[in-house]
Amino acid sequence: MAGQVIGAIDQGLLLLVCAEPGDGEAQAEKLINKVLKLRIFGDAAGKMNLSLQDVGGGLLVVSQFTLAADCSGGNRPSFTGAARPEQGRRLYEHCLAFARSQHPEVASGEFGADMQISLINDGPVTIPLRVS
């Protein structure tokens, strides 16, 4: 529904998740564990030394298959590197369930939806993570 807020957090992290063929639940859990423990928030001295769990921030998890885009073959991206929608949805939902079991504040987008996402990037810090 247009204009409806599906998920929102205050201070925290926006996690864009892309499942690729061969990914499984172990990779999803490893990703969440890594994200929750990354020391990327400033401490009292301003040094990136605190994790999301340390600062009690929220985690907004959004599916984003376009992260698997391959632009090497021309001007139109190919998304063949992304998992099929059925596998992507299953892994996204597992990722969310696992995150919610590990962290008190987890919000989500809607899988496969055309969403408008607002972000205030404080830092800015953007870190691509790949787990295997």
- Which residues carry out catalysis? 64-66
Sheet holding 58-63, edge to edge: 12-17, 58-63, 106-108
Q: How far, in Å, CA of 27 to CA of 65, rounded?
A: 16
Q: For 112, which DSSP code?
A: T
State the DSSP string of 28-97. HHHHHHHHHH---EE-TTS-EEE-HHHHT-EEEEEE-GGGG-B-TTSSS-B-TTSPPHHHHHHHHHHHHH
103 neighbors 36 (Cβ within 8 angstroms) = yes
